[in-house]
Amino acid sequence: MKTIALVPAYQAGRTVGRVVAALRDSWPESGQSVVVVDDGSTDDTAPQAEAAGALVVRHGCNRGKGAALVSGLRRASQLGAEIAVSVDADGQHLPGEAVRLARYAAPDEALVLGTRDLGRAGAPRAHRLSNGISNIFLSWFTGVRLLDTQCGLRRYPIAPTLALGVRDSGYAFEAEVLIRAARARWEIFQVPIDVVYSAESRAHSHFRVARDPARIVGRVLYTMMTRRGSR
């Protein structure tokens, strides 16, 4: 079962090369192992990723994290991969933890979520609060006790994920995947992971703790209403 690392990246020229190099050094499979989706960056994200050995998919303009993940999943499928582990481009996800998710003893068609201890990792208080609210809200709507709904380190079964028909193109993509996967009765595994919150990774995060959780909530409500209306 071929597995690749998928890195959605926007304005990540200062970090993405190190992320790609570390993943390539650690990845358990040979050949093309890292796909980076440059989501309309105006810096040197794409050249840095290519120089480090990634296959780069480029968006002509910034379309959002969800759109980048979909483009990456499609490209990975074309490469013959069946599983993708998404990794953030800012360096907070350790390559060894990405490999651990790739090798985790879960069925190939399951969704595997990395779960962080944000307090121990030293995440900003606003991020901890935002994540806590999202956890409560999404756990309620999915019927699954979700421990970390905003972590970008995940293992996706590629074809089933694309078949879910997720519509959101931004950060709410990850929340919508959870809702649709839970409703489709996927197995969802949650794996504790270590992360690094450096000053650099904080500076290069594009998640907005006030705006983006509100969009996530809106997408959840929209998804629930459209699903009920389609029955």
Mean pLDDT, residues 77-85: 97
| 20-56 per-position pLDDT tens digit | 999 999 998 877 899 999 999 999 999 999 999 999 9
pTM assigned to the model = 0.87
- For residue 123, which amino acid is it? A
Give the residue among 214, 191, 195 at the shortest CA–CA distance from 205: 195
* Residue of 216 and 29 predicted with greater confidence: 29
Please report which residue ranges of 114-210 form alpha helices under DSSP H. 118-121, 125-142, 158-163, 172-183, 199-203
Rounded CA-CA distance 161/156 in Å is: 7
| 3-22 per-position pLDDT tens digit | 999 999 999 999 999 999 99
Q: Give the SS3 label for residue 165.
A: coil
Tallying the residues shown for the chain, one arrives at 231
Rounded CA-CA distance 54/34 in Å is: 5
* Residue of 209 and 81 predicted with greater confidence: 81
> Quick one: how far is CA 179 from the chain centroid?
15
Q: At what angle do helices 16-26 and 95-103 cross, to 10 degrees?
A: 50
**Do residues 57 and 69 make contact, with C-beta atoms less than 8 angstroms apart?**
no
Tokens standing for residue 27:
């990845």
Residue 192, pLDDT > 60, answer yes
pLDDT of residue 211: 56
CATH 3.90.550.10 fits 3-229, yes or no: yes
- For residue 17, which amino acid is it? G
**Measuring CA to CA, how many Å separate 214 from each of 126, 128, 132, 136?**
14, 15, 13, 14
Rounded CA-CA distance 191/211 in Å is: 27
Dihedral of alpha carbons 89, 194, 201, 190, sign: positive
